[in-house]
C-alpha cells in the first residue's frame, strides 16, 4: 500500500480510501478540512494526477453516502484509521 505524499502532522489523521476494485491507499489529512477535500485527495491517491472529476464520485462511510461534502471530516465522524470508499455515482444499465 502506498501512502499519499501529504506531509504528516500531529493534527492530521490517516484515512484509508478504497477504490472501485477494492484498491486502497492511505490519505493523511486535517480533520477540519471539508469532506470534499478528502474526496479529492482520495481520488488523487488512487488514480494520480490529474484524477477523475470529483463531481462524478461519492464518498461512502459505513455504507452511507456522505452529504453534504461541505461538512468537515470530523463532523462526518471520520476519525484516524477510518476506512472510506470512493465510488462512481453512476453505473451503466442495460436497456431491454
Partner 1 sequence: MTLDVELVLDLIAEDLPAAERQAQGLGLTLHRGEGERALDFYIPYAAQDGQDYLIRLRRDGYDEQAPSFQFVNPQNPEETGPQWWARMAGIGYPHGDHGEVVYCTPGIREYHQHSSHRSEQHPKSTWKLARVIWLTWKYLYDSGSYAGRGGV
Is the CB of 53 or the CB of 91 nearer to partner 1?
91
**Is 67 near partner 1 (CB under 8 A)?**
no
Whole-number Å distance between alpha carbons of 4 and 54: 17
Q: Minimum distance between the CB of residue 87 and partner 1, rounded to whole angstroms?
A: 6
Whole-number Å distance between alpha carbons of 35 and 1: 22
**Is 80 near partner 1 (CB under 8 A)?**
no
SS3 content of the chain, % helix, strand, coil (to 5): 15, 30, 55
Select from 3, 56, 75, 83 the one that contacts partner 1 (CB under 8 A): 83
Amino acid at each position: 500500500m502506498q501512502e499519499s505524499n501529504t506531509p504528516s502532522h500531529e493534527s492530521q489523521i490517516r484515512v484509508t480510501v478504497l477504490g472501485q476494485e477494492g484498491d486502497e491507499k492511505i490519505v493523511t489529512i486535517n480533520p477540519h478540512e471539508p469532506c470534499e477535500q478528502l474526496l479529492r485527495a482520495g481520488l488523487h491517491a488512487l488514480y494520480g494526477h490529474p484524477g477523475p472529476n470529483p463531481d462524478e464520485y461519492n464518498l461512502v462511510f459505513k455504507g452511507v453516502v456522505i452529504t453534504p461534502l461541505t461538512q468537515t471530516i470530523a463532523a462526518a465522524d471520520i476519525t484516524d484509521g477510518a476506512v472510506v470508499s470512493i465510488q462512481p455515482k453512476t453505473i451503466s444499465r442495460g436497456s431491454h
